[in-house]
Chains A and B, each alone.
Chain A
Amino acid sequence: MKIAVCVKQIPDPATPYQLDPTTHWVIRPPDQVMDDTDRYGVEVALQLKEASEGEVVLVSMGPAGNMQGIRQALAMGADKAVIIDDAELKGSGALSTAKVLAAAIKREGADLVIAGTESSDGYTGVVPQQISELLDVPALTFARKFEKTETGIRIERQTQSGYDVVECGLPALISVTAGVVEPRYPTFKGIMQAKQKPVDQLTVSDLGLDGDSVGGSGSGQDITEVSPVPSRQAGQVIEDDGEGHLRIVELLEQAKVV
């Protein structure tokens, strides 16, 4: 089974990064890390591979930089990576991203596509579903548990009140929620071998896509404004004069939680 995992390199959330003041796009430093939510997708892919032989291919779009994030996933145990880095992709929104990733996945001929539910820099949360539509394969979304069946894949889909059991044949796409598995740490041997693993660096034309259909022009959206999160208001402090518990009950009643 060939498994494609969508991974994204993002600026390290621990260090300050900037947005371009005109376009509102993230200024991507050469040093990027793998999006933390993608660690779960990679782990799921590796577990499925270990259960039933196969190959794990990473598929990523964006400036390759020094490929720190891609190497992290290769060091965890993925077999190869395909990265689409092209100036024409600047300003890509969710749909452009999905078009490019879907084309790269098609080129690889994957039986199963795994993606995180959303990236932690853009947070659009729609790319996996768009990819499944473009590839015309079923999307099993928000998987909190997964298993390979004889002919396909079965998952438990997280819902607000519990979970649905959903299954389908292959090819298919699953999106996994954070916490679904405990991602392994890259091993030191894996880290040292990661540089030897094949990484295909492709352009938009390598995928047979028209430049106008992707990037900013192919996204069908513009970011019109970015504003900082309003700072949280200071909380209310209640000094306990022996009657504090009554005030707590009162507040809980006001919030209609009791």
Chain B
Amino acid sequence: MTVKPGPIDALDFLEIGSQLSDEERLLRDTVRQFVEDKILPDVGDWYDQGYFPKELAKEMGAMGLLGMHLEGYGCAGTSATAYGLASIELEAGDTGARSFVSVQGSLAMYPIWEFGSEEQKQQWLPAMAAGEKIGCFGLTEPDSGSDAASMRTSAKRDGSDWILNGSKMWITNGGIADVAVVWARTDEGIRGFIVPTDTPGFSTNDIHKKVSLRASVTSELVFDNVRLPADAVLPNVVGMKGPLSCLNEARFGILFGAVGAARACYESALSYSKERRQFDQPIASFQLTQDKLVEMMISVNRSALIAMHLGRMKDAGTIRPAHISFGKKENVRAALAVARSARSVLGANGITLEYPVIRHMTNLESVYTYEGTNEVHTLILGQAITGINAFS
């Protein structure tokens, strides 16, 4: 008997789920369940209180979420697409949860895995994969954002030791980290250092009064004559290639994550509009509302297709940084537009933390400019298609 296609699923209109392998689907469903159980019930309160529950790290580690696309050293070794699918589900919960996982896996573990010595990998990666040690990534500085190469933080040789001075700003996980991967200017060029956060001279100041990414820790890192042994430096990379390759990893997670945030907003608006009655009918029956819902639905599906396509390219080894810029720029701006539209469908309820929409909307304002601003990605794309570098 051939089964007739059933009704269309409003929550997976293009049936993108059918394009996933059995493992990918199971992994997606597992993370979705985790988010439903452990994040969604409380995230509104965390956001309200400006709190990130760092005890989630161990649960995430037990499942295999941390550094999941890396091989060996206690990491799960999944495909890049699977990492992307996990990012979608996490960010459908909250950008803070996805940011935590992005920073741990792509910004802190990845450089140790890619550029570290065998001893460094053995020392840090298994504990970080298990969520027993939390990592952060220090690149951005108060006066050095998009122009990261202009950093002032420096490391100078003192015998075989290094002396680290300077500060880093807007560092996710900074205040809760056990270890920081810090990029600093040296006589040889930009180099990466593994800095345990209990090293004398290292301190952090959490950034308060944020109105975005409130369920996430954002900090300043300060290095005051931090003395590091010779083996603290990542031996296998010199120059901006180091941090930029980490950013490419993390941006890949973001271009998926944004799909999750957008999807959560669309789903919230769709369900609200079918229940909310005005003028004796659900507001979903009004043409203006249907237009908003359809535009949101198309946008979410389009972003998901872009993400899946880029995921397959990454797994095939054909993706280049400009492709990731395409996804990061397009999917984040699209998600922000969906969030704003969803906000308007929810009316006054759209501004409360009883619904997820305003939380995603304000979070996405951070995502819009972090890990390469929308403008920087535009110029990377501009250079890719014209051959002309507009930065210089």
Contact = CB atoms under 8 A, between A and B. Distances in A.
Interface in A160-198: 185-189, 191-192, 194-195
A125 to B, nearest CB: 25
A63 to B, nearest CB: 11
Given A17-B6, A27-B3, A29-B3, A187 B26 contact: no
Interface of A: 15-18, 27, 29, 31, 33, 66-68, 71-72, 75, 185-189, 191-192, 194-195
A187 B64 contact: yes
B68 to A, nearest CB: 6
A17 B4 CA distance: 12
In the A-B complex, the 6 residue pairs with the smallest Cβ-Cβ separation, listed nearest first, are A188-B64, A188-B76, A187-B64, A185-B63, A191-B26, A186-B30
Contact of A185 (B22, B23, B30): B30
B6 A75 contact: no
A27 B65 CA distance: 35
Given A68-B22, A195-B22, A189 B64 contact: yes
A188 B68 contact: yes
B245 interface: no
Contact of B33 (A27, A68, A185): A185
Contact of B63 (A16, A18, A66, A187): A187
Contact of B34 (A27, A185, A192): A185
A29 B29 CA distance: 17
A86 to B, nearest CB: 15
Contact of B23 (A18, A33, A191): A191
B289 interface: no
Interface residues of B, number: 22
Interface string B14-37: 000000001101110110011000
A58 B185 CA distance: 58
A195 B33 contact: no
Summarize B's interface: helix, strand, loop or mixed. Answer: helix
5 contacts: A31-B25, A71-B22, A71-B26, A186-B30, A192-B23
B250 to A, nearest CB: 19
B25 A16 contact: no
Nearest to B7: A16
A43 B177 CA distance: 33
B22 to A, nearest CB: 6
Contact of B26 (A17, A27, A72, A189): A72
Contacts of B26: 68, 71-72, 75, 186, 191, 194
Interface string B46-68: 00000000000000001111001
A33 B68 CA distance: 24
A15 B15 CA distance: 12
